């Protein structure tokens, strides 16, 4: 099994999108990329810890490739928005790919470049590509947020 980590705005919707992908075995929402040890949601919401809201995806590469996960990532948010997605504003909502291997870094950079060159966006893609750091799991009430409220995002 392999791991991928993505930030694309509020982690609730991002997690829901990845949970619908065949080959994704598990997901968890949390925080990555900041300076504070063991941050809470309240800490991250101050926009002073440097963390992004992220989804950690465990997947089976014999069923879904990392490149296919990147396609989902690009499709579910606007990668030209710096430090925001929709009404959510702050560095915690930035578009970011945290890579776990040199191969993931190479694939992510090539994918971003292809998308930029495609002409789909008139503005520059501002998605950051950074090495993965410590993943801090978010509070339980954030995990599978939509499902806990009776919503079925995959139907």
45 classed as catalytic = no
- Of these residues, 10, 20, 45, 154, which one is catalytic? 10
Distance CA 51, CA 72 (A): 22
Q: Are 10 and 53 in contact (CB under 8 A)?
A: yes
CA angle 75/57/150 to nearest 5° reads 80
Q: Which of 154, 151, 108 is nearest to 131 (CA)?
A: 108
Torsion from C-alpha of 151, 154, 91, 51, nearest 10 degrees? 90
Q: Are 76 and 97 in contact (CB under 8 A)?
A: no
Q: Are 5 and 100 in contact (CB under 8 A)?
A: yes
> Catalytic amino acids?
10
């Amino acid at each position: 099994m392999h791991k991928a980590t993505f930030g694309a705005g509020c982690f609730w919707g991002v997690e829901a999108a990845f949970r619908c992908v065949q080959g994704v075995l598990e997901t968890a929402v949390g925080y990555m990329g900041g300076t504070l040890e063991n941050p809470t949601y309240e800490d991250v919401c101050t926009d002073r810890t440097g963390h992004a809201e992220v989804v950690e995806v465990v997947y089976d590469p014999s069923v879904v490739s990392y490149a296919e996960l990147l396609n989902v990532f690009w499709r579910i948010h606007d990668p030209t928005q710096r430090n925001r997605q929709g009404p959510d504003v702050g560095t915690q909502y930035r578009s970011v790919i945290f890579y776990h291997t040199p191969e993931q870094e190479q694939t992510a950079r090539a994918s971003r470049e292809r998308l930029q060159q495609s002409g789909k966006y008139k503005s520059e893609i501002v998605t950051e590509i950074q090495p993965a750091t410590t993943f801090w799991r978010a509070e339980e009430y954030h995990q599978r947020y939509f499902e806990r409220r009776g919503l079925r995002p995959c139907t």
